[in-house]
Amino acid sequence: MRTTVAAAPAGWRMRPRTRKGVLVVHIVAAGAWIGLDVMLGVLVFTAMFTGDRATASLGYQALPLLLWPIIAAAVVCLASGVVLGLGTHHGLLRYWWVAVKLALNLLLTALVVLLLRPGLYEAAEYGRRLAVGPATADLGDLVFPPIVSSTALVVATVLSVYKPWGQVGGSAAERA
């Protein structure tokens, strides 16, 4: 017997118009999140590799501006994704492509709050020191968040469109 974990009971299905509205919110939040990661990458790489101290200083000081927009996009993407999962036949843990996206979204959001947030404030502080004179800091790890996050979000987008791997707990024949 196949178990379908957290699939939407028939009574919980969203009406088509509601589903489309939530899907628009979901896609816009996911797109915004990717765009913000690209902005983060542009600022980080410019600040790190420019030869101009004033530009580097401004770039580092601007980084915390992206923190709350990234958190907001991640939370809206997560919340709308959960509503879409629960309110449609997709379920939350019924299909691998949804379950993996849920795990990615939770992991990325946790990394933003736990690792990126202190890193951005540290970089901004370094930017303020750079504004008044030469300074040094070990901020090499800052290159990873934009690369890792945007790569994971592109993977999530590909999963959303191709919907691979079938059902969680499904047979190999079903997955093929």
- Mind giving me the DSSP string for 92-143? TTTBHHHHHHHHHHHHHHHHIIIIIHHHHHHHHHHHHHHHHS------GGGG
Could you tell me if 146 and 41 are in contact, meaning their C-beta atoms sit under 8 angstroms apart? yes
Could you tell me if 126 and 60 are in contact, meaning their C-beta atoms sit under 8 angstroms apart? yes
Helix-helix angle 16-49:144-162, to 10 degrees = 150
23 binds ligand HEM, rule: CB under 6 A: yes
One character per residue 29-58, x = contact with ligand HEM (rule: CB under 6 A): -x----------------------------
User: Measured over all CA atoms, what is the biggest interatomic distance in the chain, rounded to whole angstroms?
Assistant: 69
98 binds ligand HEM, rule: CB under 6 A: yes
167 binds ligand HEM, rule: CB under 6 A: no
User: Among residues 81, 127, 145, 146, which is the contact residue for ligand HEM, using CB under 6 A?
Assistant: 81
CA 69 to chain centre: 11
3-state DSSP assignment of residue 87: helix
User: Among residues 46, 50, 72, 90, which is the contact residue for ligand HEM, using CB under 6 A?
Assistant: 90
73 binds ligand HEM, rule: CB under 6 A: no
One character per residue 139-158, x = contact with ligand HEM (rule: CB under 6 A): --------------x--xx-
Task: Output the smallest distance, CB 10 to ligand HEM, in A.
Answer: 15
Region of 40-48, 53-61, 73-81, 140-148 interacting with ligand HEM (CB under 6 A): 73-81
